[in-house]
Structure 1
Amino acid sequence: MSTYPQVTGVEIPFMKPPLLLIGQGSHDDTGAAEFGRFVHRLRCRLEESAAEVSGGYLAKAKPRLSESVASLVARGHHRLVALPLSLSRMGEEFPAAMALEQERHPTLMYDYGRPLGPDPRVLALLAERLAEAAADAPKLRPIEEVMPRLRVVPSVPVEEPAQHIEMGETAVVLVGEGSTDPAANAEVHRVSRLFWETHAYDFMTVETAFVSVTPPGVPGGLERCRRLGARRVIVVPYLLFAGGMLERVWAQALAYGAGHPDLDIRCAEVIGDCEVLADVVIDRYEEALRLAEGVSA
């Protein structure tokens, strides 16, 4: 079947429903900039398949979700795929926000794409960030140089030779955002276990911690690893993009490390804007289209 409907003898490309990425939103410019770059990457990827890509935030940052939806509707799109750009399960705020948009635009129809985690490719990206952090040589730097781009929380002074630490003496702390939703927090614990068994099985353990809202915090996760006998701990943020949340992870790790100089603490980077993450999003988008077609059929 041709995807190019014939209108008065002219072949017009079939337009897929646009992909609308929904971000939580914050006042942090770094996270907003990375979100914008990722939206641009997806536009370039989906351009050949005649699918528009837009992005909007629920609150705090711009463009707001309401602005992005209004722009799509003004350009003649009345059906779209809404995909929360999130690693955790979809909270109630996402359906509530889209229901409000439907009230504003009665002709609007939408389908949801599944959140991104814990896709095996996301776990593989976490493994890459873990390997990068493990390969970094610790360096002692003053806090004013470390923040906001801390990569290593050192415990060995520069003038002393670095100790050799085996993989079995190294623990990992996977840090999620933290939520008031118990199911969302349980999902992060599940990801930690999956990550340990599929990508970090040579490490002593993979513990779970949260940036805020729910315990244990980053210091609590580090303390558990220390009590288990770890000589080195690598903190892996379970976050998509850099920004204020990541800086809080690093700051908590730095503060704990200052009180435990014998423990080598390292901090990994976030998953970040990359082609593999774009692959996961595109698969979620295509999946939502297939499910919608199956329901309509």
Structure 2
Amino acid sequence: MKPEGSDVGLLVVGHGSRDPRAAGEFRRLVGAVRERAPGLAVEGGFIELSPPPVSEAVRSLVEGGVRSIAAVPLMLLAAGHAKDDIPATLVRERLTHPGLSFRYGRALGIRPELLELVDERIRAAVPEGEREETAVLLVGRGSSDPDANSDLAKVARLFYEGRPYPLVEHAFVSLTPPDVPTALEKLRRLGFHRVAVFSYFLFTGVLEERIRHQSASFAAEHPGFGVSYAGYFGPEARVADLVLERYREALRGDIRMNCDVCVHRVALPGFEEKVGAPATPHYHPDEPGHHHHGHHH
């Protein structure tokens, strides 16, 4: 995994959560990445909400002799965090550590192994004989970035292809419609009596719990309409493998970020003001001297 005499380290960058279970799952995933790459220096840090901040993870790598860092954003889809906040944070770290070089990998993205994991979770929640009558609802975080939101629609379509489920819809738990109750109501009106809901999230947390509760509440309010909750990805071995794949890609310089419909480059309707807007780092609450302004989830 590590070239001879190399002083390259892997920085896994997470979003952070108010839920300590989410931070624990992130640490388990970083541990799984370490196990798969003995000899590679691996550290994980967060841009907000959970300790340790990115700056602390970078400091640990530097103290261990790393001179070049490949950073991989631990995000399923590339929205503002992966496109904006993390690169800006890395620029800040480069100013703090002159002589340290950075490469930046891409978000985990739309991948067959993630679709396989969704499939496994849903098959575990829906008995084989019921699959052909069960609709699937994939629920994402939701973003102010149309590109990321449309990626979830693409995931839903790819998941539908070649599988027995008659309909695969998508919804979002925050920031953009349709929300979970709206999507479930649509499926109910289309005549479905059974829906499997999967949270398109790496880890648990406030929003994942909200999806779980909203699904259960909707089912309770509509007798005869069954909702099976299929969970979320969790700190899975295949996700750890994908992080290493993104690390290797960053080292090779083969980064294929989708810039064709990126709001930072293309004037999309209603988002024109974002074109060319400067990227700004998040300031983590655990970093000295920085007040975190108005960023709420």
Residue type of the partner of 1:195?
Answer: F
- Per-residue CA deviation, residues 255-292 of structure 1 (Å, 9 max, x unaligned), is 21121121010101211112211111111111111227
The question of 1:45 aligning with 2:36 is answered yes
- Per-residue CA deviation, residues 74-96 of structure 1 (Å, 9 max, x unaligned), is 33222111000010112311111
CA distance in 1, matches of 2:152, 2:123: 20
Q: For residue 249 of structure 2, what is the aligned residue in structure 1?
A: 287
Q: For residue 150 of structure 2, what is the aligned residue in structure 1?
A: 186
Q: Over aligned residue pairs, what C-alpha RMSD do you find?
A: 1.8
Once the two structures are TM-superposed, the CA of residue 106 in structure 1 deviates from its matched residue by 2.0
Q: For residue 19 of structure 1, what is the aligned residue in structure 2?
A: 10
Q: For residue 208 of structure 1, what is the aligned residue in structure 2?
A: 170
The question of 1:103 aligning with 2:95 is answered yes
Q: For residue 147 of structure 1, what is the aligned residue in structure 2?
A: none
Choose which of 177, 181, 185 in structure 2 pairs with 1:219.
Answer: 181
Once the two structures are TM-superposed, the CA of residue 130 in structure 1 deviates from its matched residue by 0.7
Residue type of the partner of 1:46?
Answer: A
CA distance in 2, matches of 1:211, 1:40: 29
- Per-residue CA deviation, residues 125-175 of structure 1 (Å, 9 max, x unaligned), is 110001111139xxxxxxxxxxxxxxxxxxxxxxxxxxxx74332100000
Q: For residue 254 of structure 1, what is the aligned residue in structure 2?
A: 216
Residue type of the partner of 1:114?
Answer: R
CA distance in 2, matches of 1:197, 1:208: 14
3-state SS of paired residue (1:91): helix
Once the two structures are TM-superposed, the CA of residue 224 in structure 1 deviates from its matched residue by 1.2
Change (3 A) 1:75 1:166: closer
Q: For residue 285 of structure 2, what is the aligned residue in structure 1?
A: none
- Per-residue CA deviation, residues 222-275 of structure 1 (Å, 9 max, x unaligned), is 111111111100001111112222101101112211211210101012111122
Residue type of the partner of 1:186?
Answer: S
3-state SS of paired residue (1:204): coil
Report if the CA contact (8 A) 1:204-1:230 is conserved: no
Once the two structures are TM-superposed, the CA of residue 188 in structure 1 deviates from its matched residue by 0.8
3-state SS of paired residue (1:25): coil
Report if the CA contact (8 A) 1:178-1:214 is conserved: yes
CA distance in 2, matches of 1:251, 1:283: 34
Once the two structures are TM-superposed, the CA of residue 176 in structure 1 deviates from its matched residue by 0.4
Q: For residue 62 of structure 1, what is the aligned residue in structure 2?
A: 51
Once the two structures are TM-superposed, the CA of residue 31 in structure 1 deviates from its matched residue by 0.4
Report if the CA contact (8 A) 1:111-1:292 is conserved: no
Any stretches of 5+ residues in structure 1 without a counterpart? 5-13, 137-164
- Per-residue CA deviation, residues 97-127 of structure 1 (Å, 9 max, x unaligned), is 1111112112221111221121110110110
Report if the CA contact (8 A) 2:55-2:93 is conserved: yes
Choose which of 31, 49, 68 in structure 2 pairs with 1:79.
Answer: 68
3-state SS of paired residue (1:215): coil
Q: For residue 142 of structure 1, what is the aligned residue in structure 2?
A: none
Any stretches of 5+ residues in structure 2 without a counterpart? 256-297
Change (3 A) 1:210 1:292: closer
3-state SS of paired residue (1:33): helix
- Per-residue CA deviation, residues 188-220 of structure 1 (Å, 9 max, x unaligned), is 11111111114xx31120001001111001111
Q: For residue 171 of structure 1, what is the aligned residue in structure 2?
A: 135
Q: For residue 86 of structure 2, what is the aligned residue in structure 1?
A: 94
CA distance in 2, matches of 1:77, 1:28: 31
Q: For residue 127 of structure 2, what is the aligned residue in structure 1?
A: 135
Change (3 A) 1:277 1:104: same
Residue type of the partner of 1:209?
Answer: A
CA distance in 2, matches of 1:292, 1:190: 23
TM-score of the pair, normalised by structure 2: 0.80
Residue type of the partner of 1:167?
Answer: R
CA distance in 2, matches of 1:24, 1:278: 16
CA distance in 1, matches of 2:212, 2:181: 11
How many aligned residue pairs are there? Answer: 250
CA distance in 2, matches of 1:218, 1:291: 39
